[in-house]
Amino acid sequence: HHTTANPKPVFIVGFMGSGKTTWGRKLADKTGRTFIDLDEVIVQEIGMPIAAYFTEYGEHAFRELESRTLKNIAPDLPAVVSTGGGTPCYFDNMAWMNRHGITIYFQLPPKALWSRLMQTDIGTRPALNGLSGPELLDYITAKLAERAPYYEQASYTVNQLAVRPEELIALIK
């Protein structure tokens, strides 16, 4: 008999490369919640990769679409939602997530984000502006400093290098 004590959605926030999607999926599986990848919902809706949407319509249009898509998530759905790296930083998205669910910030130092992002396809991430190498590290460091004040508004901050799945599960029970 499987019940979710807390029916509110869980929103995972954090920088690109912090493991939101990988861990969000695991967490949903282990707790019987529905997994939602916000970027994936947007891609389904627009029918093109996010990078292509950025190029064609610009970042502002993307941010409006992202905010609308976020706020369309049913407030009574016991889901784990992995958000985009920029989601909490625009409009009132962070306050909205705090009002409607449980928020968890996956925190990682710039160097760890950098080495993870260097291993992925940088071209699919428009927010990285095609940078690589030491320039990418500088960019991540600056961007994280700008975004941290939003991420830090989350109900919980976890060190993503040290956290164990059981600890995360305990947070949302």
Chain contacts with ligand S3P (rule: CB under 6 A): 16, 20, 39, 50, 84-86, 125-127
Establish whether 24 is an annotated binding residue: no
φ, ψ of residue 156 to 5 degrees: the values are -130, 140
Q: Is 86 flagged in the annotation as binding?
A: no
User: Cα separation of 173 and 171, whole Å?
Assistant: 6
Q: Which lies closer to ligand S3P via its Cβ, residue 3 or residue 72?
A: 72
Q: Answer whether 77's CB lies under 8 Å from 10's CB.
A: no
Q: Which is nearer to ligand S3P, 20 or 33 (CB)?
A: 20
Q: What are the residues whose beta carbons fall under 8 Å from the beta carbon of 73, sequence distance 6 or more?
A: 9, 36, 79, 81
For residue 5, the minimal CB distance to ligand S3P (Å) is 28
Q: Which residues of 92-115 are buried (b: 16+ CB within 10 A; e: fewer)?
A: ebbebbbebbbbbbbbbebebbbe
Question: Judged by CB, which is closer to ligand S3P: 21, or 98?
Answer: 21
Of 127 and 131, nearer to ligand S3P (C-beta) is 127
User: In the structure, how many helices (H) and strands (E) does the chain have?
Assistant: 8, 5
Q: Find the shortest distance in angstroms from Cβ 1 to ligand S3P.
A: 34
Sequence ranges of the binding site: 17-22, 39, 63, 85, 125, 147
Sequence ranges of the binding site for ATP: 17-22, 125
Sequence ranges of the binding site for substrate: 39, 63, 85, 147
